[in-house]
């Protein structure tokens, strides 16, 4: 039995064709990880047969769980719900399309616990030219505004302490700003190069609005939040721990 545990959250929205590929893809990572690995699928209101495919996996494997939304709520909500329902010290995230490889979680694990948050950086991206150009501009704009030092904030391969995740403010689109939100907490962030592959199944859920225009608005809002931070240091403290008293 491994000492520590990690939950890998896998958001799913209309990915029925690729669900069967996921567990074989995770096998090498699960066998080599220093953690006891749990997989938590979050069905984000899929309208295809994704939920039934997920249920089949959960029925066969104790380390596989799932939660399902009544209707589509978006990627940030799916990731957040997965983190919230996890009970492990560490949580991770990967997309169900497997454009990143679960085995690269080992590279991220190697940085723990020296860092509180470790994220991938996709090398040799196998996306369309428009998608790569919009992502490059969005990452440049985000870093120039927030100075988080991360080149690929949207990489769908991340590990963080669950306590760090739970201290982040939840908002639509927050998944693009995980590194900056961790830095606001004063946490240590590390970016590691990972492999990237072409999409084999399913369709991209992003368009010009949710890939470029909406993130730019969110970046400006987060910059305002960071500039409004109030930092203080306590020099003395007389508060002592108190035990709860139950009156019968």
Q: Averaged over 120-149, what is the pLDDT?
A: 68
Give 107's pLDDT tier (boundaries 50, 70, 90): very high
Say whether the peptide bond before residue 113 is cis (omega within 30 degrees of 0): yes
Tens digit of each residue's pLDDT (9 = 90 or more) over 155-181 = 999 999 999 999 998 888 888 889 888
Rounded-to-integer distance, Cα 187 and Cα 191, Å:
13
How many CB atoms within 10 Å of residue 191? Answer: 21
Please tell me the least confidently modeled range out of 118-127, 194-203, 221-230, 239-248.
Answer: 239-248
**What does pLDDT average to over the chain?**
85
| Per-residue model confidence (pLDDT) at position 30 | 97
Residue 205 has pLDDT above 70, yes or no: no
Query: How far is it, in rounded angstroms, from Cα 51 to Cα 44?
Result: 9
Greater model confidence, 203 or 207: 203
List the domains of the chain with CATH numbers.
4-227 (3.90.550.10)
Q: What is the pTM assigned to this prediction? A: 0.79
Least confident of 61-75, 92-106, 197-211: 197-211
Q: Is the pLDDT of residue 55 over 50?
A: yes
Q: Which of 93-97, 124-128, 161-165, 191-195 has the lowest mean pLDDT?
A: 124-128
Mean pLDDT calculated for residue range 127-146: 62
The pLDDT assigned to 173 comes to: 81
pLDDT at site 237: 83
pLDDT of residue 143: 61
Cβ atoms of residues 11 and 66 within 8 Å: no
- Pick 62 or 247 by higher pLDDT: 62
């Amino acid at each position: 039995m491994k000492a520590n545990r990690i939950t890998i959250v896998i958001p799913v929205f209309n990915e029925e064709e690729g669900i069967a590929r996921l567990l074989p893809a995770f096998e090498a990572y699960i066998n080599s990880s220093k953690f006891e690995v749990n997989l938590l699928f979050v069905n984000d209101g899929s309208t295809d047969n994704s939920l039934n495919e997920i249920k089949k996996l959960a029925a066969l494997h104790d380390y596989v769980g799932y939660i399902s939304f009544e209707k589509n709520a978006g990627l940030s909500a799916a990731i957040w719900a997965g983190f919230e329902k996890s009970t492990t010290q560490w949580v991770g995230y990967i997309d169900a399309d497997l454009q990143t490889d679960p085995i690269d979680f080992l590279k991220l694990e190697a940085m723990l616990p020296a860092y509180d948050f470790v994220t991938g950086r996709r090398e040799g991206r196998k996306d369309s030219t428009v998608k790569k150009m919009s992502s490059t501009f969005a990452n440049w704009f985000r870093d120039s505004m927030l100075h988080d030092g991360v080149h690929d904030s949207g990489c769908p391969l991340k590990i963080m302490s669950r306590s760090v995740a739970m201290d982040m403010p939840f908002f639509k689109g927050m998944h693009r700003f995980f590194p900056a939100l961790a830095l606001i907490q004063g946490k240590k962030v590390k970016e590691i190069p990972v492999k990237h592959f072409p999409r084999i199944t399913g369709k991209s859920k992003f368009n010009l609005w949710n890939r470029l225009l909406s993130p730019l608005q969110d970046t400006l809002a987060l910059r305002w939040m960071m500039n409004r931070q109030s930092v203080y240091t306590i020099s003395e403290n007389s508060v002592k721990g108190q035990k709860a008293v139950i009156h019968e």
